[in-house]
Structure 1
Amino acid sequence: MTKIVHPAQRLLAEPDGFRVEFKEADSRADIVFDRPPFNIVSMLQRDQLRAVFEALDDDPKVRVIVVRAVGEHFSSGGDIKGFIEASPEHVSKLAWNIAAPARCSKPVIAENRGYCFGVGFELSLACDFRIATETTLYALPEQKLGQIPGSGGSARLQKMVGIGRTKDIVMRSRRITGEQAYNWGIATELVADAELESATDSLVRELLAFSPLAQRTAKKLLNDTEDAPLSIAIELEGHSYSRLRSSNDFREGVEAFHEKRKAVFNGS
């Protein structure tokens, strides 16, 4: 009898250019790009990354997800040859795959050093936090190929820094440093290169101290109201606040505050 293998199992049977490390004691999962020296992202890898984010989002043991890379560079971008070989239908899904960190209900941290180009930049922009160093260079270089960013890069960047700065980066294929990215609000933290891992560890510990329910609610609310009129955003914020008032975590937080002790949240 032939064993039937689900497509999802085949998709993740052999991760292409990355691995997943799970630290149960830290409630942390790391997606590690491992195709040095430049960690080029293949077309298959994009599909696999989406599936991995979805799987980690469903795992109650995972509280925080970190995306990092082996070597001196986060990623120099995508496999150029793969774009020519891929079908139009497959290419149309690029942005959906790379938006997986944003759809994920849990906090996602991008650990960026060295080159962070093309899809490497776009994936980082879809994360909640980007930690950069003095070695980091961000760029969307698609104009050099006669193309434009195709995985949400220009759209997300414009939301963050405005149309003028986005045109400057996209239309000139301009590289910007980690320091400039931090000053513009693209990177959420700037540290010395030798301190990148410890800065990530510190942020993970900080996020784990909060209520996972409140974290998920905050992320979804902020994502859902990014384009909403102020009145609608305030209305949705009020509804979310009201729902959290009946949670065990909120009760625990209030009691811990009055008892002058550290709150212990369970996500309910």
Structure 2
Amino acid sequence: MSAPMTDPRFNDLDGFRVEVDAERFRADVILDRAPLNVISMPQRDQLRKVFEALDEDSAVRVIVLRAVGEHFSSGGNIKGFMEASPEHVSKLAWNVAAPARCGKPVIAANRGYAFGVGFEISLACDFRIVSETCQYALPEQKLGQIPGSGGSARLQKIVGITRTKDIVMRSRRIGANQALDWGIATEMVPDDQLEAATDALVAELVGFSPLAQRTAKKLLNDTEDASLSIAIELEGHCYSRLRSSDDFAEGVDAFHSKRPPNFRGS
């Protein structure tokens, strides 16, 4: 198996890089600005464009968002907020929401600090695997501000208004254990097992039908605020469309033949 290679399509990125491993249908978006992986203003727009490009890449089925070093990200470049135009600032939430809009599964691998925009972009991912060193926080109150890239809104959907007020209004840090207990984290592992746990989840996800994965993600995102009756109705329509897919036919045949399915995403 070949090692993942830095993708030449994504040169001159500010504070991060992209690696694609076509043999494993995997792409890694890697924050790489030591030591705290501070996220700049231009970097946010670049991250959006990278997720959009990877979403269109048929060689990629799963995307991992991770970072080098002991900390995922201490947050954004504070000075950049004062220098950015109001129009630019108004686009921050759209950029950071790119993992949620992406049709493919996105995994955030978090260790150490995941503060501010580092927490917000992790919340926009589908899965959050945390090491025992992980700390989440939305510290904007200490700057006389509030989260501006969807953090408080997404968090409230996960943990409710009482816990969100406790985190946002007090700039409170949430450790890995509490993040797992509150449903923020998907899984918690020892720090030296974060990469292995991420690899295992990628391997699991690429074994499913890409079409069924995209459908499930969009359905769940679209029905988050829907009534039960509407959600059930939309689920039925999605189920019906998948009924005629090649992947469903392959899955049924593989089940009866007692063999692993070979899903192609059609």
TM exceeding 0.5: yes
Letter of the 1:223 partner, please give it: N
Residue equivalent to 2:224: 226
Letter in 2 for 1:19: R
What SS does the aligned partner of 1:35 have? Answer: coil
Indicate the residue corresponding to 1:151 in structure 2.
Answer: 149
- Measured in 1, the distance between the counterparts of 2:45 and 2:253 equals 44
Q: Residue 167 of structure 1: SS of its match in structure 2?
A: helix
Q: Give the match for residue 25 of structure 2.
A: 27
Inter-partner Cα distance in structure 2 for 1:153 and 1:132:
18
Determine the C-alpha separation between the residues in 2 that align with 1:173 and 1:22: 36
Shift of 1:231: 0.5
Q: CA deviation at 1:17?
A: 0.2
| Aligned equivalent of 1:106 | 104
For 2:114 and 2:202, locate their aligned partners in 1 and report how far apart those are by CA, in whole Å. Answer: 21
The total of aligned residue pairs comes to 258
Structure 2: which amino acid aligns with 1:174? R
Query: Equivalents in 1 of 2:233, 2:125: separation in Å?
Result: 25
- Does the Cα contact within 8 Å between 1:54 and 1:104 map onto a contact in 2? yes
- Matches of 2:204 and 2:153, distance apart in 1: 29
Structure 1 residue 246: Cα displacement: 0.3
How far residue 13 of structure 1 moved from its aligned partner, in angstroms, is 4.8
In the alignment, which of 54, 57, 62 is matched to residue 56 of structure 1?
54
Once the two structures are TM-superposed, the CA of residue 232 in structure 1 deviates from its matched residue by 0.4
Give the one of 172, 190, 197 matched to 2:195.
Answer: 197
Structure 2 matches for 1:226-245, cutoff 5 A?
A: 226-245=224-243
TM-score, with normalisation over the residues of structure 2?
0.96
Choose from 103, 112, 118 the match for 1:120. 118
Matched residue, 2:168: 170
Once the two structures are TM-superposed, the CA of residue 260 in structure 1 deviates from its matched residue by 1.1
Q: Secondary structure at the match of 2:172?
A: coil
Look up the match of 1:133. Answer: 131
CA offsets, 1:173-192, max 9 Å, x none? 00010110011000001000
Between the two proteins, what is the percent identity of the paired residues?
A: 77
Question: Partner of 1:67 in structure 2?
Answer: 65
Tell me how far apart the structure 2 counterparts of residues 200 and 174 of structure 1 sit (CA, whole Å): 27
CA distance in 2, matches of 1:18, 1:247: 37
Residue identity opposite 1:217 in structure 2? T
| Equivalent position of 2:86 in the other structure | 88
* Deviation readout 1:215-255 (Å, 9 max, x if unpaired): 00000000000001110000000000000000011011111
Separation in 2, partners of 1:134, 1:197: 13
Q: Give 1:86's aligned amino acid.
A: A
Task: Assess if the C-alpha contact under 8 Å between 1:221 and 1:237 holds in 2.
Answer: yes
Residues in 2 aligned to 1:164 and 1:176: alpha-carbon distance in whole angstroms:
14
| Superposition TM-score, scaled by structure 1 size | 0.95
SS of the residue 2:160 aligns to:
helix
How far residue 134 of structure 1 moved from its aligned partner, in angstroms, is 1.0
For each residue in 1:28-67, what CA deviation from the matched residue of structure 2 results, as whole angstroms up to 9, or x when unmatched? Answer: 0000000011000000000000000000001111110000
SS of the aligned residue for 1:68 comes to strand
Q: Which amino acid aligns with 1:112?
A: N
Cα deviation, residue 258, structure 1? 1.1
Cα contact 1:133–1:179 (8 A) shared by 2: no
2:251 to 230, 253, 262: 253
Instruction: Give me the whole-angstrom Cα distance separating, in 1, the residues matched to 2:175 and 2:23.
Output: 35
Paired AA for residue 23 in structure 1: D
